[in-house]
């Protein structure tokens, strides 16, 4: 059998998660990628001078000068997965701090999202949003669009054109929304949902980059017949993902249960409508019912749902400082990833979400009298990469540097290198903690996680395609 043709080759250090709680540092590694964006070799240890002869053996047609040598202190990491992002809120990020969730939705969000009724506007804004998120290293996102079909189709097209992996969902909302931003009927909502699913499957028939996701916004904005219709769609089509907001804040949980008094928890409600399963992404999960073995934790575990942890939104918009019990979810083996919830919060950066996940887990440790230990850097990195990939159904496809997986990766470059004597060895734009010439990879990696920003994400690849090039 002949080896597949190589289209990309990288040599240097790559860092990824080897488990939920540990990273693996792959030094002196040669990674090759084929024309379909798949990793075909991950060879180590191999020194830089051995690379040309090894490549000549693997694929004699690959031009040796095209090898990318990533040298100290730069390194590769898997692309970031944003498991919860509202694309139409790109323009409102940061506004409405201090408001409770339902007031923020009425005052800020619904009027903003109503503007996406205009497909030309939607096309322009979505092109900007997708490009901005890619620049921040988000190689895969699970998007909520607005309730509009044409706008949603533009979002899927923008992801495909710019090369971002995405789940794209049209919001379903047929009640408790303003007259200018509400769907006229259950039938209209379901018909538009089906049209969007068909369109997404038409532009990407095998879902190699963009896939549809059912998106009942939350139970407050959906009538029972609409939830029922969406549950039927999910049941009849096992390849469809599902996403919704779940137990985000007390105000929202109380309002939900007063609309559906027959249920005592949101888990009971969404399970009743057949919306919970291994393809479901539940954003927030901050206020969970008591963990007595039969409560909501047990339901999410039993039904294999994934959680989009959005610590930025949970500590700003929403009403209070809400700290989701991530340590407990991880201990139970429940899938967890990070979400920016852009714009519920002030940032669309996964690096910021990583930091807030640490802060929130520290709060949880204090709150629980030390029982729920704070998250480690290794764990939050896992949530941002492989953990998120598992939540969006790509746990075997991306998230690690392994033969057979697709190459979604970031090249990270610290912007300031100092010698042991404090002399400047190299300098570029950025604010990341300076690194030293003899610093360990683990220490450099940790400095990037806690103090780097998009200026240190110098190149971004999705499925082997370069979507942000070094300037």
- Residue count, binding to ligand GUN (CB under 6 A): 11
Token pair in block for residue 398 = 């991306």
Rounded to whole angstroms, how far apart are CA atoms 176 and 188? 16
Check binding of 327 to ligand GUN (CB under 6 A): no
Residue 94 CB, shortest distance to ligand GUN, in Å, is 13
Check binding of 313 to ligand GUN (CB under 6 A): yes
Rounded to whole angstroms, how far apart are CA atoms 456 and 3? 34
Across 322-376, the runs of DSSP E, i.e. the strands, are 335-338
Check binding of 218 to ligand GUN (CB under 6 A): yes
Which range touches ligand GUN (CB under 6 A), out of 10-18, 101-109, 206-214, 395-403?
A: 101-109
226-285 residues in contact with ligand GUN (CB under 6 A) are 245, 248
Check binding of 217 to ligand GUN (CB under 6 A): yes
Position among 23, 87, 101, 324 found at the interface with ligand GUN (CB under 6 A): 101
Q: What is the DSSP letter of 320?
A: S
User: Maximum Cα–Cα distance for the chain, whole Å?
Assistant: 70
Give the nearer residue to ligand GUN in terms of CB position, either 32 or 265: 265
Residue 450 CB, shortest distance to ligand GUN, in Å, is 25
Give the nearer residue to Fe ion in terms of CB position, either 148 or 284: 284
Nearest residue by C-beta to Fe ion? 341
Parallel/antiparallel/unpaired status of strands 22-34 and 6-19:
antiparallel
Q: Quick count: other Cβ atoms within 10 Å of Cβ 53?
A: 10
Residue 105 CB, shortest distance to ligand GUN, in Å, is 6
CA nearest to 324, candidates 348, 346, 351, 300: 300
Give the nearer residue to ligand GUN in terms of CB position, either 86 or 413: 86
Residue 48 CB, shortest distance to ligand GUN, in Å, is 47
The CA dihedral of 231, 234, 236, 240, to the nearest 10 degrees, is: 170
Check binding of 341 to ligand GUN (CB under 6 A): yes
Check binding of 174 to ligand GUN (CB under 6 A): no
Parallel/antiparallel/unpaired status of strands 306-309 and 335-338:
parallel
Give the nearer residue to ligand GUN in terms of CB position, either 341 or 378: 341
Give the nearer residue to ligand GUN in terms of CB position, either 357 or 467: 357
Residue 341 CB, shortest distance to ligand GUN, in Å, is 5
Residue 403 CB, shortest distance to ligand GUN, in Å, is 39
Give the nearer residue to ligand GUN in terms of CB position, either 146 or 299: 146
Check binding of 105 to ligand GUN (CB under 6 A): yes
Give the nearer residue to ligand GUN in terms of CB position, either 79 or 311: 311
What is the per-residue DSSP string for 83-144?
EEEEGGGGGTTTTTTT-BHHHHIIIIIHHHHHGGGSHHHHHHHHHHHHHHHHHTTEEEEEEE
Check binding of 400 to ligand GUN (CB under 6 A): no
330 binds, among ligand GUN, Fe ion, none (CB under 5 to 8 A by kind): none
CA nearest to 169, candidates 195, 203, 132, 133: 195
Question: What 3-state DSSP class applies to 315?
Answer: coil
CA nearest to 381, candidates 91, 119, 75: 75
Residue 424 CB, shortest distance to ligand GUN, in Å, is 43
Rounded to whole angstroms, how far apart are CA atoms 203 and 188? 23
Q: Which residues share a beta bridge with 416?
A: 427
Rounded to whole angstroms, how far apart are CA atoms 186 and 87? 24
Nearest residue by C-beta to ligand GUN? 344
Check binding of 152 to ligand GUN (CB under 6 A): no
Residue ranges in contact with Fe ion by CB under 5 A: 341, 344
Summarize as ranges the residues that interact with ligand GUN (CB under 6 A): 86, 101, 105, 109, 217-218, 245, 248, 313, 341, 344
């Amino acid at each position: 059998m002949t080896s597949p043709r190589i289209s990309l080759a990288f040599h240097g250090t790559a860092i990824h998660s080897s488990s939920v709680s540990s990273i693996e540092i792959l030094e002196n590694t040669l990674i090759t990628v084929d024309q379909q964006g798949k990793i075909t070799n991950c060879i180590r240890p191999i020194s830089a001078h051995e690379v040309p002869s090894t490549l000549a053996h693997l694929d004699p047609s690959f031009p040796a000068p095209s090898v990318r040598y990533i040298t100290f202190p730069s390194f590769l990491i898997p692309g970031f997965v944003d498991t919860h992002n509202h694309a139409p809120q790109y323009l409102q990020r940061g506004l409405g701090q201090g408001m409770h969730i339902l007031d923020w939705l009425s005052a800020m969000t619904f009027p903003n999202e109503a503007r996406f009724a205009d497909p030309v506007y939607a096309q322009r804004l979505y092109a900007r949003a997708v490009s901005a998120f890619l620049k921040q290293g988000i190689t895969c996102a699970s998007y909520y669009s607005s309730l509009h079909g044409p706008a949603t189709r533009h979002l899927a097209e923008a992801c495909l054109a710019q090369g971002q992996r995405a789940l794209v969902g049209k919001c379903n909302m047929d009640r408790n929304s303003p007259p200018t931003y509400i769907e006229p009927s259950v039938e209209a909502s379901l018909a538009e949902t089906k049209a969007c699913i068909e369109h997404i499957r038409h532009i990407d028939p095998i879902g190699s980059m963009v896939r549809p996701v059912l998106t009942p916004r939350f139970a407050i904005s959906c009538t029972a017949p609409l939830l029922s219709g969406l549950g039927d769609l999910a049941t009849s089509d096992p390849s469809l993902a599902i996403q919704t907001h779940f137990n985000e804040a007390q105000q929202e949980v109380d309002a939900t249960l007063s609309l559906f008094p027959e249920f005592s928890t949101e888990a009971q409600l969404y399970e009743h409508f057949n919306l919970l399963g291994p393809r479901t992404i539940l954003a927030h999960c901050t206020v969970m019912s008591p963990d007595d073995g039969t409560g909501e934790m047990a339901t999410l575990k039993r039904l294999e749902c994934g959680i989009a942890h959005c610590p930025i939104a949970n500590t700003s918009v929403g009403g209070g400082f809400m700290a989701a019990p991530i340590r407990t979810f991880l201990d139970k083996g429940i899938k967890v990833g990070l979400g920016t919830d852009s714009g519920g919060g002030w940032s669309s950066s996964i690096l910021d979400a990583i930091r807030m996940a640490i802060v929130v887990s520290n709060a949880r440790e204090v709150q629980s009298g030390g029982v729920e230990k704070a998250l480690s850097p290794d764990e939050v990195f896992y949530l941002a990469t492989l953990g998120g990939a598992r939540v969006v159904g790509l746990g075997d496809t991306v998230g690690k540097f392994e033969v057979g997986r697709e190459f979604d990766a970031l090249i990270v470059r610290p912007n300031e290198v100092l010698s042991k004597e404090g002399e400047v060895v190299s300098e570029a734009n950025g604010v990341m903690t300076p690194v030293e010439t003899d610093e360990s990879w683990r220490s450099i990696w940790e400095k990037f996680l806690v103090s780097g920003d998009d200026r240190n994400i110098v190149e971004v690849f999705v499925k082997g395609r370069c979507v942000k090039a070094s300037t």
